[in-house]
Amino acid sequence: MPRIAGVDIPERKKVRYALRYIHGIGPKFADNILEAAGVNPDTKAMDLTDQEVSQISSVIDEGYIVEGALKRQVQQNVQRLRDIRSYRGDRHRRGLPTRGQRTKCNARTRKGRKKTVAGKKGVKGG
């Protein structure tokens, strides 16, 4: 398996798709990296020469933040929002959506599984 930027990429896929397995590289960045390295995007990852792998790795190292460094940077950004007690930081702290989505229905991805609350079923008013 070819190893680029410290990540094993799938060898049976074309390079333009295999690069996307690296955290922080999407479709546009993958194409930009291959263009800068001078590698054909339709080449299978297992057919890459050692020179091509090193060219791709050097392009990624000099121009892109990927994997651990990117995760660390995102975590620091969230922590900064929490520390300055901003609205977004408060939403992160509570585990709620931060970008204005509704939470009355939906938002299950952020809120987690439903927590059943003992309701007022069967209690009559009056």
Average pLDDT score over the chain:
91
Cα 6 to Cα 67: distance, rounded to the nearest angstrom: 8
Architecture of domain 3-63: Orthogonal Bundle (1.10)
Give tens-digit pLDDT for 42-76: 999 999 999 999 999 999 999 999 999 999 999 99
pLDDT band for position 115 (cuts 50, 70, 90): confident
Sequence spans of domains, the chain: 3-63
Give tens-digit pLDDT for 29-49: 999 999 999 999 999 999 999
Contacts 24+ apart (CB under 8 A), 33-40: 33/59, 33/60, 33/63, 33/64, 36/63, 39/15, 40/15
pLDDT above 90 coverage of the chain, percent: 78
3-state SS class at 74: helix
Q: Judge whether residue 26 has pLDDT over 80.
A: yes
- The backbone torsions φ and ψ at residue 14, rounded to the nearest 5 degrees and listed phi first, read -65, 150
pTM (whole model) above 0.85: no
In the DSSP assignment, the letter for residue 126 is -
